[in-house]
Chains A and B, each alone.
Chain A
Amino acid sequence: MALHLNLYHEVLKAKALKRRDPLKLSMYGLAAVIACFAGYYVLELVKLHSINSELTRVKVEFDKLEPLAKTARKREEDLQSQMKAGNLLVKRVENRFYWAPLLEQVMQVVPREVQLTRLSGDLTGDGLRRCSLSIDGLSAGTDPRKVAEDLRTAFTEKFSTKYKNVSSKFRTLEDGTEMISLDGKQVPTATFAITVDLYSGEELIAAQPARKKK
């Protein structure tokens, strides 16, 4: 076996020590970590860029749509208010109270023994309309009070065919002081004042029922 003499062992030892230098090794490790960090950072930067592009695209779309939507909202409000006004007008015209048929019914009911001296009517309410009639007059006959009472009930019956909740009552019914000539006979008279209340149309609440709490 040949004998080997290492005359450079000092040099080799120094080289080995230099190779295992902890600071140098740490720096290598650190460089690797920094490279990883840098790579990850670049990846994140790319991601941010893509999100920024998305934001720009969305902003451009929104900037284009926003004025259109504002105009559309204004137009819708205008149209809705005009449609509402139109519908209300139609409803109002359709729900009008007609007085001519009422006068026709009064004319049909009043008998020849009665003379009306005053007739007034007052209309109140929207939707469901309340008409209050005040009828003053003079009745004549052998029993003028009965003639007046017959007239009051005749009003109720006649108006009930066309109107709702018809009610009539005497405000006054008094014997008259004068005698008048009817069919050649002198008959007594009575003065009366009748109030007739009647309703027509529909309740507005019925069209829009209120929400009940459960």
Chain B
Amino acid sequence: MKLGKDEIQKLILASLIVMGVVYSYFNLLLGPLAKSQEATRKSVTALGPEIAAAKAQIKRTEEVEKTAPASMETLRRVMAMIPEGSPVAWFPPRVSDFFKKQGLDKTSTRLNTEVVEKEMVGFRRMNWGIDLPKVGFVPFATALAALENEEPLLEINNLQLDVSREEVEMQHALLTVSNIVKQ
């Protein structure tokens, strides 16, 4: 079939229209739609692990809550052993009363330093000097044993015993102790 000049022009025009339609379809309609689909899919995929992590976190916390009471009980007991208020107000009288009960009347306690416990949140360590100017060795050792048994939060870091020059039977005792208190 032989095409005339008029027909060839029409064919070229039709081809141009087809190309325009195809270009517009892919670039102006299907392209943005595909992009939008991809972005939405990515959002869905990205939220997946976050949801899984959130669920895992909630589960982990529930498990920790199940095991916590046993450990918390110990902490509660320890907290109950520490009196309320400033340690400077209650610790020296407590020490004096303790040694009086043990038959050692003369005691003086002073605060040396105070250290914040970084690892134990909510607690601090206080270092004290306890001076017992006149004690017998055996009563002192007995009192010391009782002190170590009755005060689990207290530890003796330094101990010094000097024989009294006036009375050979008596000693001058100096203790440096640390005590854990609430912050």
Chain A residues within CB distance 8 Å of chain B: 20-23, 26-27, 30, 33-34, 37, 40-41, 44-45, 47-48, 51-52, 54-55, 58-59, 61-62, 65-66, 68-69, 72-73, 75-76, 79-90, 92-93, 96-101, 103-104, 107, 115-123
Q: Return the chain A residue nearest B156 by Cβ.
A: A99
Contact A27 B14 (CB under 8 A): yes
Main secondary structure of the interface of A (DSSP, over half): helix
B interface, CB within 8 angstroms of A: 1, 3, 7, 10-11, 13-15, 17-18, 21-22, 25, 29-30, 33-34, 36-37, 40-41, 43-44, 47-48, 50-51, 53-55, 57-58, 60-62, 64-65, 68, 71-72, 74-75, 78, 119-123, 137-138, 141-142, 144-145, 148, 152-153, 155-163, 168, 180
B121:A119 contact, CB within 8 angstroms = no
Q: How far is the CA of A54 from the CA of B46 in the complex (A)?
A: 13
Shortest Cβ gap from A70 to chain B (Å): 9
Question: By the criterion CB–CB under 8 Å, are A89 and B37 in contact?
Answer: no
Taking a contact as CB atoms under 8 Å apart, the answer to whether B58 and A117 are in contact is no
Q: Report if A75-B61 is in contact (Cβ < 8 Å); known contacts: A62-B51, A117-B163, A121-B158.
A: yes
In whole angstroms, what is the CA distance A93 to B123 when docked?
14
A134 to B22, CA, bound (A): 99
A21 CB to nearest B CB, Å: 7
- Complex Cα spacing A106 to B100, Å: 25
How far apart are A45's CB and chain B's nearest CB, in angstroms? 7
| Given A85-B120, A98-B148, A117-B163: A76 and B57 interface contact (C-beta under 8 Å) | yes
Q: A72-B57, A88-B119 are in contact. Are A103 and B141 (CB under 8 A)?
A: yes
**Does B11 lie within 8 Å of A22, measured CB to CB?**
yes
Contact A86 B54 (CB under 8 A): no
Shortest beta-carbon distance, B84 to chain A, in Å? Answer: 18
User: Cβ of B11 and Cβ of A26 under 8 Å apart?
Assistant: yes
- C-alpha gap A92/B7 in the complex (Å): 102
- Whether the pair B50, A30 counts as a contact (CB closer than 8 A) is no
